Structure 1
Amino acid sequence: MAFDLGGGKKRGPSPSMNVTPLVDVVLVLLIIFMVVTPLLTKQMWMTVPAKSDKPEEQPPPPPDALPPVVLTVDRAGVLRINRDEVPRDQVVARLQRMLNARPDKIVFFDAGDDVPYGAAMEVLDLARGGNLTVGVLPDKLAD
């Protein structure tokens, strides 16, 4: 606390803004918005089919379907195309050669969970640099 010890000039009243009305207005607006917000939600009712008890089966792939081309990288940085180890400098040429005979022209990319992010991105950029369409596998493919 500061005390006026009597020395110096007398100061006039210091101007200060009364914030009580401002706080009252803000609280009233807050209450209005809290009441109105639930009323603004839009609802759309629809009928959905009942869930069946038996699991949905995926149709088997056609017998003449080619297996997907999968480019993988492991923690040691070893690159594989469909489980065949490939040197880094031959990856793009080999992928392009494999995809020339395919109608889909898609390479699936998979990196192990223990592969460093930077190493995985280098391999992904390598495949994209060859103008290949690259899809990222979220899960392992069934053998």
Structure 2
Amino acid sequence: MYQRKRRRPVSDINVVPYIDVMLVLLIIFMVTAPLITAGVNVDLPKAEANPLAEDSKPPIIVSVTADYEYFVTDGSNKDGPMQPQELAALVGAYIEVEPERPVMVEGDRTVSYDAVVSLMVLLQKQGVASVGLMTDPVGE
């Protein structure tokens, strides 16, 4: 008589579908990450200037748009429009935590010189030792 073989239950988990899902998620995050870190839309003046050293910490960017809206971008996030005094206090708090981080002012080319200088004075009062000005390269 024919004897039937008893099958033992398989206790292994098939992980191939999980790996496929993880690879798809990895690709999605790699594509969307540069889009998330977009900055404030500012039309910078063009000038020949040396870029920041590649080994320096990411700068704290203080932006003034053509509509005189003020923003802070600390490399990881962008805060919404704020008053200049609030902005200066926020940058002062960043500098207290990391005093070696550079601070850069990104002013639209249509913004008055007075607005940029006033912002730099507010930053100086909050303890920012030096402030750099951002420009676009001449060739672009």
Q: Which has the higher contact order (CA 8 A, sep 6+)?
A: 2
Q: TM-score range by the shorter chain?
A: 0.3 to 0.5
Larger Rg: 1
Normalized against structure 1, the TM-score is what? 0.46
Normalized against structure 2, the TM-score is what? 0.47
